Amino acid sequence: MEFDELAATVEVTSVSLSRNENPLLENIGLSAREKRIGIVGRNGSGKTTFARVLSGLVAPDQGEVRICGIDVAKDRKAALRTVGILFQNPDHQIIFPTIEEELGFGLIQMGCSKLETEHQVYEVLKAFDKGHWAKAQTHQLSQGQKQLVCLMAIIAMKPKVVILDEPFSGLDIPTRLQLTHYFDRIDATLIHISHNPESLQGYERIIWLDNGHIREDGSAATILSNFTKHMNALGNQDDISELIG
């Protein structure tokens, strides 16, 4: 496979993570330079945990994650400039009353001056055709608008990798399609995590997580087809009847 020389490098080496003696990720390893990577898996398969480990928000018990050569768990300042993550629920991400304050927060954390921050916020809003949003109150936004604000806040910091963790959760079809158009415009490497194979059609590479392991890794056509067949097979069973713990 030919790689884009400008694409970010993602190296995951023997990553394992447990909580209360419960293994969440086990010996995960991969090397990637594709620009559009999908991670698919059933709910509870470890996708969100893996997203947080990839972004450096959670350090693995064993192994390491390096993005563009940076150990994202150990070098948090460099990681902030290199990788951004869009959470499933934007209400867990937005902390400021106005959109311009929300977009400027990460830039200030990176050490940008007030003037530079204002300029960057203006440029991002302009790029998304949302200049009129600057003074708007974040609590008045719809769920889809909040997701877009979070995305713009990430893009403002110009990361080389953007991680999307189930970004369409709770959104209707038109809003999902509109957000997809914005995702398509992202120049950075995109790692999109989803339980829905339809969201990952057309991606260069798909990684299937199952019970904290990489079950399959390959082309979208092959992996999404295999995943869909397996999910349909599970749907014909009755594992809802099984009580856990």
User: pLDDT, tens digit, for every residue of 155-185?
Assistant: 999 999 999 999 988 888 898 898 888 898 8
List the end-to-end C-alpha distance of the chain, in Å, as a whole number.
45
Q: For position 245, what pLDDT does the model report? A: 52
Greater model confidence, 237 or 224: 224
The span from the CA of 177 to the CA of 182, in Å, is: 9
The span from the CA of 132 to the CA of 74, in Å, is: 39
Q: Contact at 8 Å (CB) between 12 and 67?
A: no
Is residue 104 scored above 90 in pLDDT?
yes
Q: For position 28, what pLDDT does the model report? A: 97
The span from the CA of 209 to the CA of 50, in Å, is: 9
Q: For position 66, what pLDDT does the model report? A: 97
Q: For position 2, what pLDDT does the model report? A: 39
% of the chain beyond a pLDDT of 70: 94
174 closest CA partner among 130, 141, 144, 138: 144
pLDDT in tens, 18-63: 998 899 999 999 999 999 999 999 998 999 999 999 999 999 999 9
Q: Is the dihedral of CA 4, 5, 6, 12 positive or negative?
A: positive
Is residue 149 scored above 60 in pLDDT?
yes
Helix axes 173-184, 143-156, angle to 10 degrees: 10
| Global pTM value | 0.89
If phi > 0 it is left, if psi is from -120 to 50 it is alpha, else beta; for residue 157 that is alpha
Sequence-ordered list of residues with C-beta below 8 angstroms from that of 6, at least 6 positions apart, any chain: none
Residue range 220-226: average pLDDT?
96
Locate the domains of the chain by residue range: 10-226
40 closest CA partner among 170, 199, 238: 199
How far is Cα of residue 66 from the mean position of the Cα atoms in its chain?
Answer: 16
At residue 115 the predicted structure's pLDDT band, cuts being 50, 70 and 90, is very high
Give the CATH class of 10-226. Answer: alpha beta
